[in-house]
């Protein structure tokens, strides 16, 4: 009996030691039993455009994170843009010294030289018949524009129209059956979504960088008059401007435009124009040659509060004579507290909202005048060119 008990104790000890050794082995070398040594991620694949899903990996450690299908779908629609313009070389500042001019006048002072300046950027083909979206600053002042397609062919381009207010432009090349990008929906973007930037940085050739959406609705960056940027940490460098910001399905969600001033030492802060704005500007430029935006005809100051400090809004600094607001009886000093029943607390927000509406649209403004609130119906007119306005930065 005693021998049987000793045998049971011995077997129990062996089992405990064996289980402990197995636990340590599985923890230290999980791949030995097929569990994989790293966290598994799913192959990103949207299953669109007639593609079939890749076979499931036999071992989860073999799963690979890849955006190759998205890049394959969008990449051919991204082009390189080479713009050339003639500029005057800056003269030596000593030429402007009054003392030198007094003694020598203009003798020996040759006129400024005219030199050829080249700029490099990117663009996105949005229709098979050759319409291309890019940034205004990429082709500003250009006298000659060449577009290099994905297949290596280079074509001359003409400017259909530009919109400095949003920093967008539309080009046209004489071609058909071009690969065109699929437009996505930037309104569905959320902070943390993965995005890819495609362009031609520094002229080295098409390059793809990856990041996430860091923020949406960024404004007051002094990059354009109308700002509603997507912020991302995807690397955007010189030559990327005008290129595509795409989602993981390969659909266009933005036009890459700018990075935060590098002099600040900031990294990973880039900005793109949402595709909804780009699409609206594109349609107007193709149809009218310029962008038609709603306009109130006021020049607004900063956000302010009413006399009792309990009401806030946008204070009217000046009113355009004969403009929509003037016709509706709005006066300098009035406080606009709401539009269409929605509170207005920010000058930029009001300007952007009005600019998204078509000329001729009627809007109801809630206005505080001499301490009393009333509603005023305003019929928007078309926003005049910036250069005709005395205060373009705050013109609504």
Looking up tokens 């694949």 gives: 45
In a shared domain, residues 99 and 136: yes
Task: Give the angle subtended at the CA of 30 by the CAs of 28 and 32, to the nearest 5°.
Answer: 110
Instruction: Look at residue 67 in the predicted model and tell me its pLDDT.
Output: 92
Write phi, then psi, for 171 (nearest 5 degrees). Answer: -110, 165
Dist CA 356 CA 380 (whole Å):
11
Indicate the pTM of the whole model: 0.72
In a shared domain, residues 193 and 230: yes
In a shared domain, residues 270 and 192: yes
27 within some domain? no
6 within some domain? no
**Total structural domains within the chain:** 3
Looking up tokens 């001033």 gives: 261
| Among 105, 138, 173, residue at a domain's last position | 173
- Reduced to 3 states, what is the DSSP secondary structure of residue 299? strand
- Reduced to 3 states, what is the DSSP secondary structure of residue 369? strand
61 within some domain? no
In a shared domain, residues 277 and 369: no
Instruction: Look at residue 85 in the predicted model and tell me its pLDDT.
Output: 75
52 within some domain? no
Instruction: Look at residue 221 in the predicted model and tell me its pLDDT.
Output: 77
- Reduced to 3 states, what is the DSSP secondary structure of residue 44? coil
Mind listing the pLDDT tens digit for each residue in 47-71?
444 444 445 444 444 445 789 999 9
In a shared domain, residues 307 and 386: yes
In a shared domain, residues 377 and 310: yes
In a shared domain, residues 370 and 328: yes
CATH no. for residue 351? 2.30.42.10
Question: Could you list the residue range(s) of the whole structural domain that residue 156 is in?
Answer: 77-173
3-state DSSP helix/strand/coil % of the chain, to nearest 5: 25, 35, 40
Task: Give the angle subtended at the CA of 68 by the CAs of 269 and 196, to the nearest 5°.
Answer: 15
Looking up tokens 């050739």 gives: 205
CATH no. for residue 86? 2.40.10.10
Beta bridge partners of 133: 124, 170
Task: Kindly state the DSSP code that residue 324 receives in the 8-state scheme.
Answer: H
68 within some domain? no
| Among 173, 202, 221, residue at a domain's last position | 173
Cβ density class 111-130: b for 16+ within 10 Å, e for less: eeeeeeeebbbbbbbbeeeb
| Among 229, 255, 288, residue at a domain's last position | 288
Candidates 203, 230, 210; CA nearest to 146 is: 203
Compute the residue count for the chain: 396
Dist CA 273 CA 161 (whole Å):
17
**CA distance to 5, 30, 34, 59, per residue, from 25 (Å):** 30, 7, 13, 19
Candidates 4, 273, 18, 2; CA nearest to 164 is: 273
Please identify every residue annotated as catalytic.
Answer: 137, 167, 241
**CA distance to 2, 8, 158, per residue, from 13 (Å):** 17, 9, 85
Cβ atoms of 197 and 244 within 8 Å: the answer is yes
Which pair of tokens denotes residue 336?
């606009």
In a shared domain, residues 216 and 304: no
In a shared domain, residues 202 and 257: yes
In a shared domain, residues 253 and 339: no
Dist CA 344 CA 339 (whole Å):
7
148 within some domain? yes
16 within some domain? no
Instruction: Look at residue 1 in the predicted model and tell me its pLDDT.
Output: 54
28 within some domain? no
In a shared domain, residues 224 and 302: no
Q: Which residues of the chain have pLDDT under 70?
A: 1-8, 10-64, 86-117, 261-266, 301-310, 386-396
In a shared domain, residues 303 and 281: no
Cβ atoms of 229 and 271 within 8 Å: the answer is yes
């Amino acid at each position: 009996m005693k021998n049987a008990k000793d045998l049971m104790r011995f077997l129990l000890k062996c089992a405990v030691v064996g289980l402990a050794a197995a636990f340590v082995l599985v923890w230290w070398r999980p791949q030995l039993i097929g569990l994989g040594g790293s966290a598994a991620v799913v192959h990103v694949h949207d299953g669109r455009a007639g593609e079939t899903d890749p076979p499931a990996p036999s071992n989860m450690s073999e799963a690979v994170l890849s955006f190759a299908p998205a890049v394959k779908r969008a990449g051919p629609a991204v082009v390189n843009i080479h713009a050339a313009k003639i500029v005057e070389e800056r003269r030596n500042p000593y030429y402007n010294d009054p003392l030198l001019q007094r003694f020598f006048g203009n003798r020996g002072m040759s006129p400024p030289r005219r030199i050829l300046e080249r700029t490099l950027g990117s663009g996105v083909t949005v229709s098979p018949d050759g319409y291309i979206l890019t940034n205004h600053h990429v082709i500003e002042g250009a006298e000659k524009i060449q577009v290099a397609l994905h297949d290596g062919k280079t074509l001359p381009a003409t400017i259909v129209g530009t919109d400095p207010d949003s920093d967008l432009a539309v080009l046209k090349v004489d071609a058909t059956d071009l690969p065109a990008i699929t437009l996505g929906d930037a309104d569905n973007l959320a902070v943390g979504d993965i995005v890819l930037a495609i362009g031609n940085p520094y002229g080295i050739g098409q390059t793809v960088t990856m990041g996430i959406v860091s923020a949406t609705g960024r404004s007051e960056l002094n990059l354009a008059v109308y700002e509603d940027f997507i912020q991302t940490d995807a690397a955007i460098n010189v030559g990327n401007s005008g290129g595509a910001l795409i989602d993981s399905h390969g659909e266009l969600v933005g036009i890459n435009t700018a990075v935060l001033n590098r002099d600040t030492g900031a990294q990973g802060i880039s900005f793109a124009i949402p595709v909804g704005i780009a699409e609206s500007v594109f349609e107007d430029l193709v149809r009218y040659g310029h962008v038609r935006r709603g306009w109130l005809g006021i020049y607004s100051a900063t956000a302010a509060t009413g006399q009792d400090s309990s009401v806030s809004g946008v204070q009217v600094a000046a009113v355009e004579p004969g403009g929509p607001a003037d016709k509706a009886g709005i006066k300098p000093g009035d406080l606009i507290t709401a539009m269409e029943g929605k509170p207005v607390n920010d000058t930029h927000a009001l300007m952007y909202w009005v600019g998204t509406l078509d000329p001729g649209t009627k809007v109801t403004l809630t206005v505080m005048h001499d301490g009393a609130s009333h509603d005023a119906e305003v019929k928007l007119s078309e926003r005049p060119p910036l250069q005709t306005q005395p205060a373009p930065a705050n013109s609504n």
